[in-house]
Structure 1
Amino acid sequence: MVSQKVVIKNPTGLHLRPAGELCKEAVKYQSSINFSFKGGTANAKSVLSVLGACIKSGDTIEFICEGEDEEEALKAVVGAVESGLGE
């Protein structure tokens, strides 16, 4: 299991478009990819889970990856968030 915290830079937080981009990146990997935010944990491969977390700009989330390609998965999702998820 590997994990890393990342700050959301998108000015409008993780609304539908960036949430979709995050999920698109996450589903490329076999590992389970979850994130923790405000005491809860959600599946990063589910757009509804990402939207349901109500993540705003400046919030910090922690990705938790577990599985055979966990290192690559963590690097990819953190990189996607840091690059702004297409915005």
Structure 2
Amino acid sequence: MIKTSVVVKANPGFDGRPIALLVQEASQYASKVYIQVAEKNINAKSIMGMMSLNLIGGEEITVVTDGEDEQKAAEGIKTFFANV
């Protein structure tokens, strides 16, 4: 299991299209991919779950990956958030 802190760069917020792209990115990996915000732990492969987070630019989140390609998944999600 890998936990990576990431800052959401999207301005002004993280809406429908970036969320759909994030779900596509997370779905590429065999590993489980979760986004943790405060006490919430949401499956990054679930579009409805991700939309419930209401992420905003500048917010710090934790990406948790667990599985056979967890390192690759952690880097992919981190890169995604850096380029949104």
Return the TM-score normalized by structure 1: 0.93
Return the TM-score normalized by structure 2: 0.96
1:12 and 1:77 map into 2 onto residues whose CA distance is 20
The 5-angstrom pairing of residues 34-53 of structure 1 reads 34-53=34-53
Alignment size in residue pairs:
84
**In the alignment, what sits opposite 1:11?**
11
* 2:49 is the counterpart of 1:21: no
* 1:32-82 C-alpha deviation (Å, 9 max, x unpaired): 000100211000011111110111111111000000000000100110011
Amino acid at match of 2:16: L
Structure 2 stretches of 5 or more lacking a match? none
Percent identical among aligned pairs is 27
Structure 1 segments (4+ residues) deviating >6 Å: none
Aligned with 1:6: secondary structure? strand
Coordinate RMSD, CA, aligned:
0.7
